[in-house]
Amino acid sequence: MATKPQISLQAKKYRVLLVDDHPIVRQGLALLIDRELDLSVCGEAEGAHSAFHAIATLRPDIVILDISLSGPDGLDVLKEIRMKTTHLPILILSMHDESIYAERAMRAGANGYIMKQEATEKVLVAIRRILQGDVYLSDRLTNTMLQQYVRGAAPTKSSPLLNLTDRELEVFRLIGEGHGTRQIADELHLSVKTIESYQAHIKEKLALRNARELVQHAIEWTVNLSGGY
């Protein structure tokens, strides 16, 4: 009796674009993804310009995008991508706490958010779930959102950073990474006066008395990386 031919597991390889300004992170993700039968890294980018070029030329099936990019951050890149295409799946992979960034990312058009501290197998789970048309969030954040929905109320305790706009949070992060006002202005293609205005708003919203306190709190939050401000 003749046996039926086996169906190849490699009939479809989904093309993954990595956008992260750390070569070691990209290398680690590429090694993880390329060993899977159904996934393949089609390209890498380290910033906004190279990301847009790669998306246009490589036509990936999914983009893995870091928030902390040099120049315009991942949220800006995400918003720009969504202005050009609504269908491209995007997974945010970030070292920054999901309680601060995940909701912002989802509002901007991300299909999922996962922290770099998560186990590597969860990255693969997130990729496949998003490729299937679902949304991926961590169990912790999903439970938090469900509890808020059931209670019908906002969380009793929230970080004051949630009061910052996306641009103010980006400036706050860059301050924490040691960037001066002029450097931030150059990276974001804004005037020094505009950055100073953002800094004033941040100090007001976070009840900080002066520039020294602003820098101190920004550095503490950035180094902590747990969002525990």
- Per residue in 40-53, pLDDT tens? 999 999 989 999 99
The stretches of the chain forming alpha helices (DSSP H) are: 23-34, 48-58, 74-84, 98-108, 120-131, 139-151, 166-176, 181-188, 192-205, 211-224
How big is the CA angle at 116 (ends 153 and 89), to the nearest 5 degrees?
Answer: 75
- Looking at residue 151, what is its pLDDT? 66
Task: Using pLDDT thresholds of 50, 70 and 90, give the confidence band for residue 2.
Answer: very low
Tokens of 107: 């509002």
In the chain the domains, ranked by start, together with CATH numbers, are 14-146 (3.40.50.2300), 160-224 (1.10.10.10)
- Looking at residue 94, what is its pLDDT? 86
- Per residue in 193-221, pLDDT tens? 999 999 999 999 999 999 999 999 999 88
CA distances (Å), origin 191, targets 184, 185, 195, 204 = 9, 6, 7, 20
Bigger pLDDT: 11 or 62? 62
The pLDDT of 58-64, averaged and rounded, is 97
The pLDDT of 43-71, averaged and rounded, is 92
Report the alpha-carbon distance of residue 133 to residue 147 in Å, rounded: 24
Q: Which of 63-67, 91-95, 139-143 has the highest mean pLDDT?
A: 63-67
Mean of the per-residue pLDDT values of the chain: 86
pLDDT score of 167 more than 70: yes
The sign of the CA dihedral 201, 205, 211, 215 is negative
- Per residue in 118-166, pLDDT tens? 778 899 999 999 999 999 988 777 776 676 667 665 554 567 888 899 9
pLDDT score of 90 more than 70: yes
